[in-house]
Amino acid sequence: MALQLAWIGLGNMGRGMCKNLVRKGHLSKPLLLYNRTTSRASDVSSEIGHSAVATSIEDAVSKSDIIFLCLGHDIAVQDTLTQATQGDVKGKLFVDCSTVHPETTDKVAKAVEAKGAYFVACPVFGAPAMADAGQLVCVLAGLQEQVDKVKPYCEGVMGRTVIDYSGSAPGKATLLKVIGNTFILSMVETISEGHVVAEKTGLGVDGLHQFIETMFPGPYTAYSNRMRSGDYYQREDPLFSATLARKDAGHAMALAEKAGVHMKNVQLADEYLKDVQDHMGNKGDIAGIYGAKRVEAGLTFENKS
């Protein structure tokens, strides 16, 4: 029997993931889309084709066999799944691609399973451009049989590879995701620091960027370009908002503290992210750490010549 898929949450990551599900996922039925802002769901549907807009969360869930979620924070995931499981969801599979605390993941998984449904955690590594290109790294955890149902939509569709925690509690996947995101935080802080020192010493950021591009192609080069170009303060919608980055940093530090470890690099990045929020508000992006370090060094937040 052909499966009906639904997708809830069309932020920077969700839009690209949906596009690749439609174009490479061999869906027999149009993908059902739901977003809190209906106009965004309509726009995405028009862009990607082979999809339809659900009128509510309940509408999307009631018509679907597999329901993907990609939401910004823990409360949104909890509230959405509470609403989604109000009706008869026996036998349905919920797949959460959000980045949340592993305790949240295990809590919502138990609540979903108590309703007779199934739950798989599927957080992803990669920037929005990687989501759009289908080059994400998907981390899967949950019952083996249910994870196997999700894999066909990951490698070669939404992602380039899978990190498989089949048979483990779903929270294992989000534990890896939270720890993994601390590498991004530290990377951005390090690049920001290097660019400011290069500028203040007279070396110049272009030469440093050439070094980065040569030695560290990929995310390092991408973030270096965002800093040099001014993208970190010019865009209306952040690619990785400072608010969500601080959420991830908070989860990581709490997990580390519980384990008897201190994450000083993460604490430092979080302090700069607070400065980014103060300067940019909701437009603040993680790459704005560069601007915060510029201010600390007696320069302007914006790298205007």
**∠ CA 61-65-71 to the nearest 5 degrees?**
50
- Two structure tokens written together for 184: 């991004």
Neighbours of 146 (CB within 10 A): 19
Asked if 177 is an active-site residue, the reply is: yes
Decide the pairing of beta strands 124-125 and 136-142: antiparallel
Q: Residue 114 contacts by C-beta under 8 Å, 6 or more apart in sequence? A: none
Of 144, 140, 39, 152, residue with least CA distance to 96? 140
**Diameter over CA atoms, the chain:** 66
Neighbours of 70 (CB within 10 A): 25
Q: Compute the distance between CA of residue 41 and CA of residue 51 in angstroms, rounded to an integer.
A: 10
Task: Count CA atoms closer than 13 A to 169's CA, side-chain side.
Answer: 13
Q: How far is CA 108 from the centre of its chain?
A: 18
- Two structure tokens written together for 41: 């769901």
Q: Are 150 and 120 in contact (CB under 8 A)?
A: yes
Instruction: Please pick, among 92, 177, 247, 293, the residue that the annotation labels catalytic.
Output: 177
Q: Compute the distance between CA of residue 291 and CA of residue 272 in angstroms, rounded to an integer.
A: 9
Q: Which residues pair with 17 in a beta bridge?
A: none
Residues annotated as part of the active site: 177
